[in-house]
């Protein structure tokens, strides 16, 4: 079992990573909550809800189950979460538990942030991808005009990461999670990047997975501690996300997983970084690793203009100009304003390069 502490603006919280710790939640949760409200999705509920409920035999507990998938992260689910919580008598001393992946974590966290102006919540991530979203307190729902546009910065009281729950993940979800690990490595840790691209996701061991998640969370935690509200370096965590989010929105949520879209976004960031800084980035090793591990890398049917339009609903846009995270080298992220004209040129040359590889 490993513990990482994160100092947020309002409190200190622990991220605990271990095996089978979902059966001993009481070790990590204060005992004086008046009630517990578990938010999860249909798929995770089938696998783990009963086990989680058994931790609370002496506490008043209720739950709220959403359909699995990004489409649940909307204003209607948000309102229903409140309605159901009110009907179950949740009060200001209640605890919300987010049991699931990023969609559940973001929705439940935003529910907690806004329920009676804010109650405690805990993240119990059940995907690799959620190693990223469960740490740092970014909570949100999607707007029909873009992802994560309605939300708060609201750190959890604890993150309890039972890696046993990752064993049943489909390959697509493993790929999705590893894209964020690649991102973290590119931002902060060249050795970690080299480790990942030597890892075969088909034969991934539990030991490897735990090690990688631990490094990823440490990078993430260190960044959000320095800049919780994303006024500076936290923006670097959006590496690959400007195009990634646009791809998800343009193709329709669910067509690509978040991580699959981010993986293409990371390639694009490397491509633009090479163009602008005239430096050699690991574009080739990354695309080879992505292909070996069955990430979708074809996007040549997409219109640059449509993508640019979607990119403009990104929260990093200021004065209608797109801000991209680029790299001067691995571990050397930087922010760069890119005008529409240049962006279109980069998108076109990127698509050609993808087709050519």
CB closer to its own copies out of 149 and 214: 149
Sheet holding 120-125, edge to edge: 2-7, 12-18, 158-162, 120-125, 95-100, 36-41, 61-66
Asked whether position 33 contacts its own copies by CB under 8 A, the answer is: no
Candidates 38-46, 138-146, 162-170, 173-181 — which segment interacts with its own copies by CB under 8 A?
138-146
CA 323 to chain centre: 20
- Nearest approach, Cβ of 132 to its own copies (angstroms)? 16
Ordered alpha helix ranges (H), 198-318: 206-226, 241-251, 258-277, 283-292, 304-311
Question: Binder to its own copies among 57, 145, 203, 278 (CB under 8 A)?
Answer: 145
- Nearest approach, Cβ of 39 to its own copies (angstroms)? 15
CB closer to its own copies out of 225 and 275: 225
How many angstroms separate the Cα of 340 from the Cα of each of 19, 249, 314, 343? 48, 19, 14, 5
Q: Which of residues 293-332 bind its own copies (CB under 8 A)?
A: 313, 315-320
Q: Do the annotations mark residue 242 as ligand-binding?
A: no
Candidates 46-54, 74-82, 95-103, 179-187 — which segment interacts with its own copies by CB under 8 A?
74-82
What is the rounded CA–CA span in Å between residue 221 and residue 338? 29
Asked whether position 12 contacts its own copies by CB under 8 A, the answer is: no
Candidates 51-59, 144-152, 298-306, 343-351 — which segment interacts with its own copies by CB under 8 A?
144-152
- What is the CB-side half-sphere exposure of residue 121 using CA atoms within 13 A? 36
Q: Do the annotations mark residue 84 as ligand-binding?
A: no
Residues in the chain: 357
Which DSSP helix (H) or strand (E) runs through 39?
Answer: strand 36-41
Asked whether position 233 contacts its own copies by CB under 8 A, the answer is: no
What burial letters (b/e) apply to 239-272, b meaning 16+ CB within 10 Å? bbbbbbbbbbbbeebeebbbbbbbbbbbbbbbbb
Asked whether position 117 contacts its own copies by CB under 8 A, the answer is: yes
Question: Binder to its own copies among 12, 86, 191, 284 (CB under 8 A)?
Answer: 86
CB atoms within 10 A of CB 345: 14
DSSP state of 89: T
Fill in the per-residue mask, 146 to 165: x = in contact with its own copies (CB under 8 A), - = not in contact: x-xxxxxx------------
CB closer to its own copies out of 153 and 178: 153
Fill in the per-residue mask, 167 to 206: x = in contact with its own copies (CB under 8 A), - = not in contact: ----------------------------------------
Residues at the interface with its own copies (CB under 8 A): 9-10, 34, 75, 79, 82-83, 86-87, 89, 91-93, 113-118, 138, 140, 143-146, 148-153, 229-230, 313, 315-320
């Amino acid at each position: 079992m490993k513990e990482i502490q994160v100092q947020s603006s309002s409190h200190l919280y622990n991220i605990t990573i271990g095996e089978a710790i979902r059966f001993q939640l009481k070790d990590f949760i204060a005992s004086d909550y008046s009630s517990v409200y578990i938010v999860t999705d249909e798929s995770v509920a089938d696998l783990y809800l009963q086990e989680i409920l058994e931790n609370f035999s002496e506490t008043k507990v209720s739950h709220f189950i959403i359909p699995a998938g990004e489409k649940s992260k909307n204003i209607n689910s948000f309102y229903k979460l409140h309605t159901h919580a009110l009907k179950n008598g949740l009060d200001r001393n209640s605890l919300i538990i987010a049991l699931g992946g990023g969609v559940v974590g973001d929705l439940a966290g935003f529910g907690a942030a806004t329920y009676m102006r804010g109650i405690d919540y805990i993240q119990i991530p059940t995907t690799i991808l959620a190693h990223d979203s469960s740490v740092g307190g970014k909570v949100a729902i999607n707007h029909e005009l873009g992802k994560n546009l309605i939300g708060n910065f609201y750190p959890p009281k604890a993150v309890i990461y039972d890696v046993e729950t990752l064993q049943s993940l489909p390959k697509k979800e493993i790929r999705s999670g590893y894209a964020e690990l690649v991102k973290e490595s590119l931002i902060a840790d060249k050795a970690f990047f080299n480790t990942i691209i030597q890892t075969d996701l088909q034969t991934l061991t539990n030991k490897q997975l735990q090690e990688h998640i631990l490094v990823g969370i440490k990078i993430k935690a260190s960044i959000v501690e320095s800049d919780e509200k994303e006024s500076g370096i936290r923006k670097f965590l959006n590496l690959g996300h400007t195009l990634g989010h646009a791809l998800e929105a343009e193709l329709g949520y669910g067509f690509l997983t978040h991580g699959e879209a981010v993986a293409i976004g990371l390639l694009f960031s490397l491509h633009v970084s090479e163009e602008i800084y005239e430096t050699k980035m690991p574009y080739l090793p990354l695309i080879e690793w992505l292909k070996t591990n069955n990430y979708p890398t074809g996007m040549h049917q997409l219109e640059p203009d449509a993508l640019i339009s979607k990119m403009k609903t990104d929260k990093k846009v200021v004065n209608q100009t797109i801000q991209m995270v680029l790299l001067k080298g691995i571990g050397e992220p930087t922010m760069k304003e890119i005008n529409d004209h240049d962006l279109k040129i980069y998108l076109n040359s990127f698509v050609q390069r993808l087709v050519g590889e």
